[in-house]
Amino acid sequence: MKNFLPFVGLLLIALPGWTQRDCRSLDYRQQQLSGNPTLAASVEAIEQFTRLQLRKASVIVNGQGGKESAPSRITIPVVVHIIYNSPSQNISDEQVLSQLQVLNADYGKTNADTAAIPGYYASLAADCGFSFVLATVDTGGHTTTGIIRKHTNATSFTIDDDVKFGSRGGDDAWDRDRYLNLWVCNLSGSVLGYSSLVGGPRETDGVVIKYTAFGTKGTAQPPYNLGRTATHEVGHWMNLIHIWGDASCGDDEVGDTPQQQEATYGNPNGVVLSCGNMQYGNLYMDYMDFTDDIGMHLFTGGQRDRMRTLFAPGGFRHALLSSPAAAAVTGPVVVSGGNTISMTVTEVRPNPAIGMVSVVVQDRAVVGSLMEIYNQVGLRVMAVRVTDLSTPVNLSALSGGVYFIRIGGGPGFKLVKM
């Protein structure tokens, strides 16, 4: 592997005109470096830390070292900033949820199109061990849906980060140590999205996606309508480099990805050779290429390991492991307006659960209210009426995972279904 200083600046994914815009990316990198002489040193320090972690084979798993075949989950709380100028840009909650579902499938290797990976590369596909959930608690400790909507007078944004600042027509970032910020807006030209630099400023940390390339519903337009733009850009947010190493036959700092001469466009098939990568050729179905959404199918084990080093003790994103933003509220909370309320749900028995549970409330005034159960991406999966201070609920129809129970729109209570 070469000593390659990875993507010191914002990384773009785009239509086939990308080669021309690569010069813009280089100009932007040079501008960032000249304006912040310590940035290059910070990025290189993170890269050295990554190499050290990989040499020690200390990919983080529940706070313990060692690689794993089935990684434990790292839960990343997400806040989605929808910045819209026209009604069509104000995408629906359903479209947001569809993007979260894609991220969870792609980073968990549960995407159905793994079946399209050629047999000779199938063994490279990896469960990266990440789960993405909409934040349930905002920066002030208040309950939130994790979706922020803000009208802007700007008709479009560029890669100058204006969308990340309320004073410039966008919306301010939430604390990167507790959240992954996703901004959805109208990006100018053919730019589909870009990611902040790992090691860059706190106030610009996150990913920006064009509203026509976000999720699988609503405004998402082919060939970028399967949510893979966000999959790609979140990969950059977790320190992955383009599959071709951002140079002709370059180095992406990952050992199990074959060298590749340049970006791939469209939806190729068969063996495409370059850079002497005999016998199976380019890994164009990797999420870090520029293939159309329909042709992207995998991260490799090496890419998984590189991403997870950021979450090792001392890693750039280690603080996210202790973020409270994805947990259910467990005590009195301050709601908008400053009033303090107590938890509506005081207990769920048993928890974790297999089938029947009893949901215990402390106030008879909520009897008759609607009890709603949401999954990790904020989709309501069940609703029943509260019948007494202890209400039986049958969870048999739900798949295993983490859920949140809310009554009358109040704070959530965490429930684990086995």
Catalytic pick from 233, 253, 262, 347? Answer: 233
Whole-number Å distance between alpha carbons of 95 and 102: 11
For residue 370 the two structure tokens come to: 């609607």
Contact 141, 333 (CB under 8 A): yes
Q: Which run of H or E residues covers position 51?
A: helix 39-55
Neighbours of 367 (CB within 10 A): 14
Q: Residue 235: how many CA atoms within 13 Å on its side-chain side?
A: 31
Strand order of the β-sheet with 345-349 is 345-349, 356-361, 390-394
Whole-number Å distance between alpha carbons of 300 and 269: 19
Whole-number Å distance between alpha carbons of 389 and 222: 50
For residue 19 the two structure tokens come to: 């080669």
Active site residue 372: no
Whole-number Å distance between alpha carbons of 227 and 287: 11
Active site residues: 233
